[in-house]
Each structure stands twice: as C-alpha cells, then as structure tokens.
Amino acid sequence: MFSTDEFKAQGKYFVFVHIDVDTNQALKQQFGVGGIPDLRFLKSDGTEVHKVVGYKGMAVLGDFDIAREKGK
C-alpha cells in the first residue's frame, strides 16, 4: 500500500514518520498506542487532528482527506 502512487501523492501534504513502538515505549505511552497500525495526524505544533487505528487498506486514503480538512 505505501508504495502506491495514491499513497505517495499524499507526501506533498504530510511528513511520514515510522516509529517502532516496541523500542520507543515513551512515545507509545505519550500517544496511548494500543493497537497497530496506529496512524496519527498532527499539526506542525504537535496538535493531533485525526487518528486511525487498525488496518483499513486503501480506504485509509479517505482519512488523509479528513486529516487535511481538520488540520486547516
């Protein structure tokens, strides 16, 4: 999924960061991560505007649109 053109196109709106919550327990606790995958959409000031927990396949692209709208 991450290698698709549709997903890559989101790169002009978002900065993607992969965090291994098994080795970074502090961030896991800070964000209350319980399930994986866990996608968080943050503004540049760190404010969370949207999150997705669980695998949604390509349907997750709709969440990128939601996050962009909420982040305005």
Residue 71's contacts (CB-CB under 8 Å, 6 or more residues apart) are: 41, 43, 49, 50
What is residue 68's predicted lDDT score, i.e. its pLDDT? 95
Question: Which of 7, 5, 21, 4 minimizes the C-alpha distance to 62?
Answer: 7
3-state secondary structure 2-70: CCCHHHHHHHHCCCCCCCCCCCCHHHHHHHCCCCCCEEEEECCCCCEEEEEECCCHHHHHHHHHHHHHH
* Domain ranges across the chain: 5-70
Predicted confidence (pLDDT) per residue in 22-45, tens digit: 999 999 999 999 999 999 999 999
What is residue 1's predicted lDDT score, i.e. its pLDDT? 77
Contact in structure between 51 and 66 (CB atoms under 8 Å): no
What is residue 2's predicted lDDT score, i.e. its pLDDT? 78
Predicted confidence (pLDDT) per residue in 47-57, tens digit: 999 999 999 99
Name the percent of the chain lying above pLDDT 70. 100
